[in-house]
Amino acid sequence: MGAAAGGGPLCAAVARLCEEAEGRFPDGPARTAVREVAARLSEPTLRVAVGGRLNAGKSTLVNVLLGRRLAATDATECTRVVTWFRHGDRDRIEVTPRDGRPYEIPMGPGGIPADLGLPHGQISSVTVHARNDVLRGRHTVVDTPGLDSPTGLDGDSLVALRQADALVYVMPLPGKGDEEALAAFRAALSGSGLSIVNAVGVLSRIDELGTGKGDPWPEATRIAAGYEARLRALLSGVVPVVGMLAQATLADGLTDQDARWLRDLAGAAPAVERKYLISSLDDLLAWRDCPVSPEGRRRLWRLLGGYGLRESLALIDTGTAGRAELAAALWRRSGVEGLFDVVRQRFVDGADGLRASAAVAALDRIGWGAVSPAERMAVATLRAGLSRVRAEPAMRRAELAATLSSVVAAGAAVPAELEGDVLVLLDDTGKGDVATPARIARLKRAEASFSRSTVRLARLAREMCEAELYRSRRS
């Protein structure tokens, strides 16, 4: 894992640009925007946003990413406000109303209290400051409200997504509006700067697949591969997970008492009878002569669900007995390590490039609107500086990825051959020479297209190839 998430050479180069630009711009919105970009670059860690449809399991995954249960996830509660999780020296919650000054409320025993002091509609965001090594060293996390309509994200969520350096997009099970969710995602992505290099998909709650009784993994793996193929221009992969199971293993989850109860259940129910005894909460509660109290059974069901319960008993059958051992095995069965791999390898280790390109995109937007004559010179100088930074290989890659994602998100057709070439260029795990003269010739032909988006994409890809080829011939 990389050391500090941010603060690499690319971020430093963009921060220098901001410093120079701030001196040149007169007071006004452009100067304020430059200052905001500089402030974002001075933050020590990457910002990871978690987004997706209502009730998809987003907040559960936020807790898993934080390693601590801080976000509310009860069936009755939903996250109706954008919530930032940052490192702080003491636990506290800051509420920012739409009108008026931010105020603090104390942290509840289970994280964020239900009462935020104002109706949700009057709150623009909540920031949870918590003592937490993940937040200090790796990333800041933002939990966004669920999409309650398939047509788009709410305004606050879009603002949060635009402020993020990377996205974990949580997808509900198929059959529950997946096409609409994907269409909404495409629309939300356009213009947000999020792209294949900094967005990963999660297929969530896979324990509920099918009848909810068999092993969900084979089907989940197949569905995730299907999503991945359909979304390959937008996401760097789709990881199937049982977030609930991973959350159950956190420090405030599974207890020694729970492990004892599970052992009692395993001892009292031979494997053949289990199908009937634990196939639903009602069956579990109807179990006569059960060695665990009804409250205990309810707690286990709430904590682990049917799949987690079955897996736990099967693990106990094969000799996994203690709480820690059980928790470690359930964590592995939850599949979240696959998500952590992406977050660590792509996001945290690639943080310098991701953060710098997000900052470049934000600086680029300055000057798109009306500018005063005094600002015009400053914008021109800023643009010249931006094109120097853009020539760095990591930045070229980020720009190509963002362009591909925005073209696809806007619904434009990308010729299959061009998409293939772009994906090869973006695949940083690919070995060997990708910048070949044959590829450059092919991209030049694509540049002769009538479609503006094809031309743009092909030009960026060709420039990237030529720069690579030039560098490899010189070295």
Residues making contact with ligand GTP (CB under 6 A)? 54-60, 73, 75, 78-79, 145-146, 204-205, 207-208, 242-244, 305
Closest CA to 186 of 141, 142, 230: 230
Closest CB to ligand GTP among residues 156, 208 = 208
Residue among 83 and 357 whose Cβ is closer to ligand GTP:
83
Instruction: Compare residues 304 and 414 and give the one whose CB is closer to ligand GTP.
Output: 304
> Can you tell me the distance from the alpha carbon of 58 to that of 48, in angstroms, rounded to the nearest whole number?
12
List beta partners, residue 123. 97
Rounded Cα gap, residues 47 and 50, in angstroms: 10
Beta carbons within 10 angstroms of residue 178's beta carbon:
19
> Which tokens go with 46?
């990457």
Instruction: Classify strands 83-87 and 139-143 as parallel, antiparallel or unpaired.
Output: antiparallel
Nearer Cβ to ligand GTP (73/198): 73
Name the segment binding Mg ion (CB under 5 A); options: 53-61, 173-181, 187-195, 385-393. 53-61
Distance (Å, whole) CA 407 – CA 323: 49
Smallest gap from residue 309 Cβ to ligand GTP (A)? 11
To the nearest whole angstrom, how small is the minimum distance from the Cβ of residue 142 to Mg ion? 11
Is the backbone of residue 152 left (phi > 0), alpha (psi -120 to 50) or beta? left
**Choice between 17 and 72, CB closer to ligand GTP:** 72
Q: What is the 3-class SS of 223-255, one letter each residue? A: HHHHHHHHCCCCCCCEEECCHHHHHHCCCCCCC
Residue 258 neighbours by CB under 8 Å, 6+ apart: 299, 300, 303, 323
DSSP assignment, residue 77?
-
Q: How far is the CB of 230 from ligand GTP (least distance, A)?
A: 22
Out of ligand GTP, Mg ion, none, what residue 134 binds, judged by CB under 5 to 8 A for its kind, is none
- Identify which of residues 132 and 144 has a Cβ nearer to Mg ion in the complex: 144
Q: How far is the CB of 324 from ligand GTP (least distance, A)?
A: 22
192: helix, coil or strand?
coil
Q: Which is nearer to Mg ion, 146 or 385 (CB)?
A: 146
Contact by Cβ (8 Å): 396, 460 = yes
Among residues 59, 198, 249, 357, the one that binds Mg ion under rule CB under 5 A: 59
Our CB check for ligand GTP shows the closer of 157 and 405 to be: 157
75 binds, among ligand GTP, Mg ion, none (CB under 5 to 8 A by kind): ligand GTP
H or E segment to which residue 128 belongs: strand 123-130
Closest approach of ligand GTP to the CB of residue 216, in Å: 10
449 contact, one of Mg ion, ligand GTP, none, CB 5-8 Å limit per kind: none
Residue 50, beta-bridge partner list: 143, 168
Q: Taking a C-beta distance cutoff of 8 angstroms, is the pair 77, 113 a contact?
A: no
Q: Which amino acid is at 357?
A: S
CB 79 to ligand GTP: min, Å? 3
Provide the minimum distance between the beta carbon of 218 and ligand GTP in the complex, in angstroms, as a whole number.
Answer: 17
Cβ 54 to ligand GTP, closest distance in Å? 4
Binding residues for Mg ion, total number by CB under 5 A: 3
Binding mask 70-89 for Mg ion (x = CB under 5 A): ---------x----------
Contact partner, 205, from ligand GTP, Mg ion, none, Cβ < 5-8 Å per class? ligand GTP
60 binds Mg ion (CB under 5 A): no
CA atoms within 13 A on the CB side of 468: 21
- By CB under 5 A, name the binding residues for Mg ion: 58-59, 79
